[in-house]
């Protein structure tokens, strides 16, 4: 209804994949990364290839759901001989749209199979997995393309007429970071949603032993950039708590109502480690939050507000730690934090982040991933031109932004140090 459709592009979460058979069809439904099949896969892989060797080559944060560990968990599957190609989630959807099989580099950089310096599949990693686990690598890996590549047109009958299919920053965070409305280069970003991706945009990966020890990841970005970041559990924990409360009472609490309850609670009364893997699976999240607080010797109040406040305080504390670690390891300084994505609408979390980091926080755009996808498409189709800086100027002019200054909540800065010390 809005006029002629010129192009379409897909971005999704990272790491998950579908296996395409020789007939061009899926062999089975893809697994989701929160599945327990990867239990023990990290130890299995590191028992065959030292962790330090993998990090020096791929520079990826160790997480049980990384594609490399999912593949290791599936290594004994007898159907690998039937597999022609594996396609990551956005590329699988792109294949169904266009008929072309490819891997866009930003999503490929979540696999643990990519050399982020060369922006190519790593021969040493794929050879090791083939030799030690029998996986058919690199045979089943598709060709790589950069964001902004027009990969083809839609298959006949899918849409009215042929429409260009564009590979954008297919990892949702890569698209979101395109929209960071920065006017300076020394910024940190938080792509805040189900996950929180916290880090810096750099011209090249950081593959040092210090980076490995801090467990930072080097994911690729648009226009040759690297997203040097850490995955933090994010608002998933609050989403699961809300789900449990809804099931318990039958009443769906609004996000604003939950934030209001949290704002009435004592700040930093209890905090938890938001990187604890026990928070990863779905389930009774409220009980897990309470258990983690108790393990750290803290008493968490009985009401919902106390749980929400604990989660938001803990997220802000995690952001503070991640930004400081990123700056230390990458030898950078930042003057502002940009929060994009759904979490940018959480006013209390944004203010807590400003207080915790001691830096101004600029919140918005809320729909950063969708906007970033559109901006890269528009440039690929000739509707926009210029560099990443030019795209960000369009984002800035298209968004309602809000700035939060440190200290507005009156929390003693030393209280953040004390809260962090409680977690060890």
8 Å CB contact between 20 and 95: yes
Out of 16, 172, 313, 355, the active site residue is 172
> What's residue 423's pLDDT?
87
Q: What is the mean pLDDT of residues 315-323?
A: 97
Give the strands of the sheet with 336-340, arranged side by side: 217-220, 226-232, 196-202, 187-192, 336-340, 361-363, 402-404
pLDDT, tens only, 337-356: 999 999 999 999 999 999 99
The residue count for the chain: 424
What is the percent of the chain with per-residue pLDDT over 70, rounded to a whole number? Answer: 100
List the alpha helices (DSSP H) in 99-151: 105-108, 123-133
| DSSP-derived 3-state class of residue 82 | helix
> What's residue 293's pLDDT?
96
**Residue 172 among the catalytic residues:** yes
Q: What is the mean pLDDT of residues 86-104?
A: 98
Q: What is the mean pLDDT of residues 44-59?
A: 96
pLDDT, tens only, 201-252: 999 999 999 999 999 999 999 999 999 999 998 999 999 999 999 999 888 8
> What's residue 251's pLDDT?
85
């Amino acid at each position: 209804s809005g006029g002629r459709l010129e192009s379409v592009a897909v971005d999704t979460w990272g790491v998950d994949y579908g296996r395409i058979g020789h007939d061009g069809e899926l062999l089975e439904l893809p697994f989701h990364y929160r599945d327990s099949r990867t239990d023990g896969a990290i130890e299995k892989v590191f028992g065959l290839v030292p962790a330090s060797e993998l990090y020096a080559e791929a520079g990826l944060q160790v997480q049980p759901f990384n594609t490399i560990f999912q593949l290791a968990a599936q290594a004994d599957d007898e159907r690998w001989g039937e597999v022609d190609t594996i396609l990551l989630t956005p590329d699988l959807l792109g294949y169904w749209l266009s008929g072309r099989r490819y891997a866009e580099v930003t999503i490929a950089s979540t696999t643990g199979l990519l050399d982020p310096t060369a922006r190519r599949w790593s021969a040493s990693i794929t050879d090791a997995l083939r030799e030690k686990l029998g996986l058919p690598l690199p045979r089943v890996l598709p060709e790589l393309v950069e964001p902004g590549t027009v990969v083809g047109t839609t298959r006949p009958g899918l849409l009215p007429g042929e429409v260009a299919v564009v590979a954008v920053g297919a990892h949702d965070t890569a698209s979101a970071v395109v929209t960071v409305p920065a006017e300076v280069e020394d910024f940190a970003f938080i792509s805040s949603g189900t996950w929180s991706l916290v880090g810096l945009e750099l011209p090249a990966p950081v593959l040092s032993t210090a980076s490995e020890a801090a467990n930072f990841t080097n994911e690729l970005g648009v226009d040759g950039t690297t997203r040097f970041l850490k995955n933090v559990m994010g608002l998933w924990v609050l989403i699961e708590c809300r789900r449990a409360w809804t099931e318990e009472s039958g009443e769906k609490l609004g996000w604003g109502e939950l934030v209001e309850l949290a704002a009435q609670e004592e700040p930093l009364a209890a905090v938890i480690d938001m990187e604890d893997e026990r928070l990863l699976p779905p389930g009774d999240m409220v009980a897990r939050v309470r258990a983690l607080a108790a393990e750290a010797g803290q008493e968490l109040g009985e009401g919902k507000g106390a749980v929400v406040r604990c989660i938001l305080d803990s997220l802000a504390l995690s952001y503070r730690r991640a930004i400081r670690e990123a700056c230390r390891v990458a030898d950078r300084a930042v003057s502002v934090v940009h929060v994009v994505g759904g979490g940018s609408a959480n006013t209390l979390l944004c203010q807590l982040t400003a207080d915790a980091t001691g830096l101004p926080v600029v919140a918005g755009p809320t729909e950063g991933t969708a906007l970033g996808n559109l901006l890269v498409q528009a440039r690929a189709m000739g509707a926009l031109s210029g560099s990443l800086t030019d795209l960000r100027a369009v984002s800035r002019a298209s968004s309602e932004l809000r700035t939060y200054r440190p200290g507005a909540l009156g929390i003693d800065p030393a209280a953040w140090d004390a809260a962090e010390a409680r977690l060890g």
